[in-house]
Amino acid sequence: MGTRLKDRVAIVTGGGAGIGEAIAKLFAREGARVIVAGLPEDPVDDVAADIRTAGGSALPFKGDLTTLQAATDCVKTAVNEYGKLDILINNAGVFVETNELTDYTEEGFDYMLRNNVRSVFVMTKAALPELQKTKGNIVCAGSEAGVLGIPQNTPYGGTKGFVMAFAKGVAGEQAAYGVRCNIVGPGPIDTAWTHKETGPMDKKMEKLNNQANLMGRRGTPEEVANVYLFLASDEASYVTGAVYMVDGGITIGKGPVGDQAAKSFKQQPATDLDLDHSMDGHTSIR
């Protein structure tokens, strides 16, 4: 067990799968008590149980975090069970439809706005009074798509652009209360979304993702979680309003740069987190 988040209480939204699962497990391993928050059908019980089995502290919270009521209940769970809230990780998000804009459905657009934008607003609003008490911090999930936009899913890039600007605004406003707020911008990460078998990407998009970044591969959820850990910890005490891209260089890559990546770059590092659910993300519109 590490100590980088010793005695801290953290909420990780979307903690039942993919990157959120990796964040929850890594934070717990570094001493945080973690609320693993997700939709009622997400395997948040399993992730919390895994953490406890490994000697950490975690509890599941189930609810649709697009509503202020669920967001408030989630924060109350942290405070009632663990006494306070130090860290909010706004990681929950959806990527359900790939279509050119002319074919993009209104239903898909609204679903995207609710889950990627509204959820970040209500969770941040609900958590701030507690974070002001502890002089805590927030880390939000942006995306390379929030910087570059993304063809065939233009609304997704738009929602992430919102999150990135929103988080910078929060950093500016909340500095008066001693609350930091930062952004992690993942590139293509090895979760359900970036595999044609489990996500909305087709074979061509999957291949392009790997070609377009300087590593020639997807990042792992653990490689992203490492950066969340730094930003949420006291090591980042002078970091606020910052965007940390964890994208294998996709935002500076030009052309099929991944094809030229060294073999050592293309090899994913071995994980030592037990990520049972990294491929179990929900990809259908509910």
Ligand X SMILES: NC(=O)c1ccc[n+]([C@@H]2O[C@H](COP(=O)([O-])OP(=O)(O)OC[C@H]3O[C@@H](n4cnc5c(N)ncnc54)[C@H](O)[C@@H]3O)[C@@H](O)[C@H]2O)c1
The residues carrying an active-site annotation are: 156
User: What does the alpha-carbon distance between residue 145 and residue 1 come to, in Å, rounded to a whole number?
Assistant: 35
Q: What one-character-per-residue DSSP string does 136-176 give?
A: -EEEEE--HHHHH--TT-HHHHHHHHHHHHHHHHHHHHHGG
- Write out the two tokens for 134: 């502890």
Is the alpha carbon torsion for 90, 91, 93, 99 positive or negative? positive
- The residue within the footprint of ligand X, chosen from 11, 39, 167, 214 (CB under 6 A), is 39
Tell which one of 5, 33, 42, 137 touches ligand X (CB under 6 A): 42
| Interface with ligand X: number of residues (CB under 6 A) | 30
Q: Are 189 and 19 in contact (CB under 8 A)?
A: yes
Check binding of 136 to ligand X (CB under 6 A): no
| Closer of 39 and 87 to ligand X (Cβ) | 39
Of 32, 55, 36, nearest in space to 47 by CA = 36
Instruction: Quote the least distance from Cβ 176 to ligand X, whole Å.
Output: 27
91 binds ligand X (CB under 6 A): yes
Residues 215-254 that bind ligand X (CB under 6 A): none
**Residue of 240, 127, 132, 117 lying closest to 182 (CA atoms):** 240
Nearer residue to ligand X within complex by CB, 102 or 146? 146
Regarding 143 and contact with ligand X (CB under 6 A), the answer is: yes
Q: Which stretch binds ligand X (CB under 6 A): 2-10, 35-43, 52-60, 228-236?
A: 35-43
**Element (DSSP H or E) covering residue 206:** helix 203-212
| Among 77, 119, 210, 220, interactor with ligand X by CB under 6 A | 119
For residues 190-209, which are near ligand X according to CB under 6 A? 191-194
Question: Which of 56, 136, 155, 186 is close enough to bind ligand X by CB under 6 A?
Answer: 186
User: Minimal distance in Å, beta carbon 178 to ligand X?
Assistant: 26
Q: Which of 92, 126, 225, 227 contacts ligand X by CB under 6 A?
A: 92
**Which positions ≥6 away from 57 have C-beta within 8 Å?**
28, 32, 33, 34, 51, 82
CB of 3 to ligand X, least distance (A): 26
Task: Give the whole-angstrom CA distance, residue 248 versus residue 122.
Answer: 31
Q: Which is nearer to ligand X, 65 or 138 (CB)?
A: 65
Rg for the chain, CA atoms, rounded: 18
282 binds ligand X (CB under 6 A): yes
**Residue (150 or 171) nearer to ligand X, CB:** 150
| H helices, E strands: number in the chain | 10, 7
The phi, psi pair for 257, rounded to 5°, reads -65, -30
Binding site for ligand X (CB under 6 A): 13-14, 16-20, 38-39, 42, 64-66, 91-94, 115, 119, 141, 143, 186, 188-189, 191-194, 281-282
